[in-house]
Amino acid sequence: MVIPSTVKVPWTHAVGLSLDNPGALTEKIKVRSDMVLKVPDNVSDEEASMVEPTAVALHGIHLADVKVGSKVLVIGGGIIGLLSAMFAKKEGASFVAVSETNLKRGEKAVSLGVADKYYNATDENMLNEVISDTNGGFDIVIECCGNASAVTSSLVTVRPGGVVVLVGVATGPISIPTVVAVMNELTVKGAIAYTKEEFATCLDLISNKQIEVMKFVDDIVSYDEVQNAYLRLTSGNDGAVKILVSPNK
Ligand SMILES: NC(=O)c1ccc[n+]([C@@H]2O[C@H](COP(=O)([O-])OP(=O)(O)OC[C@H]3O[C@@H](n4cnc5c(N)ncnc54)[C@H](O)[C@@H]3O)[C@@H](O)[C@H]2O)c1
């Protein structure tokens, strides 16, 4: 099926997604008043800016239905992946791993204490390692990249009957071996954003010091430094995962 260009797909209506809507690299932004929450006095502006990605991760974790003792693989150790791994551990997963093509990010997942292990996603032996570590595959795989290689990886690293949650956003159609999902009767779920409640929960968790989000922040830069920050984050070999932009710098 070809989607006619006149059809607006849902994601084009979200703030900061697509070229049709303004993003947040500005001092002011217009949002619906019923979507605004008061930031508690004990939460800094920097911490408050971390509520959004944290809520994305929490939503994926809720859809994954992580249980005490689950074995969870997070594919992609960007900020969404690291926060997903953090919540998987908090929910009681007995083994949490992150796979990464950028080994500095993989190492970071372990050194920050959100993953027990990281896999080198470019290593041909990764799948054998996964099978051996998990006795046949992860119960849950949370895909946080959005490319064909990562989605394929999610289908083959989950155990038969397991759950794959797709959080990564593919910007166009991608080719993946759906036969693996068919043969192994996988449950594959898409996850978009979060509920209002999940957003509020994340703000509470930060305010109550139940989660520490600033440990994921590598740098805080001014508007003038935004371009360089993007270059660092997209270079594929910089260890930085989250760079905040502050109008006060
Ligand atoms: N569903 C939602 O509501 C939602 C919300 C926010 C972000 N996202 C999406 O989630 C994804 C992650 O966001 P992010 O900000 O953490 O992005 P990011 O680009 O910082 O992180 C992605 C990571 O995946 C790694 N990677 C790429 N290919 C890989 C592979 N084959 N195997 C293992 N690792 C691989 C990259 O090295 C990178 O570190 C993006 O696709 C983003 O668009 C989705």
Tell me: the pLDDT tens digits for 231-248? 999 999 899 999 999 988
Average pLDDT, the chain: 93
Task: For a ligand 1 pocket test, name from 73, 80, 143 the mutation site with the most ligand atoms within 8 angstroms of its C-beta.
Answer: 80
The pLDDT score that the predictor gives to residue 30 is: 77
Classify domain 51-190 at the CATH class level: alpha beta
How many percent of the chain have pLDDT more than 90? 81
Assess whether pLDDT exceeds 90 at residue 168: yes
pLDDT number for residue 41: 98
Return d(Cα 134, Cα 238) in angstroms, integer. Answer: 30
- Is pLDDT above 80 for 8? no
Mean pLDDT value across residues 18-28: 70
Q: CB within 6 Å of ligand 1 — which residues?
A: 56, 75-81, 99-102, 105, 121, 144-147, 149-150, 153, 167-169, 191-193, 236
| pLDDT tens digits along 131-163 | 999 999 999 999 999 999 999 999 999 999 999
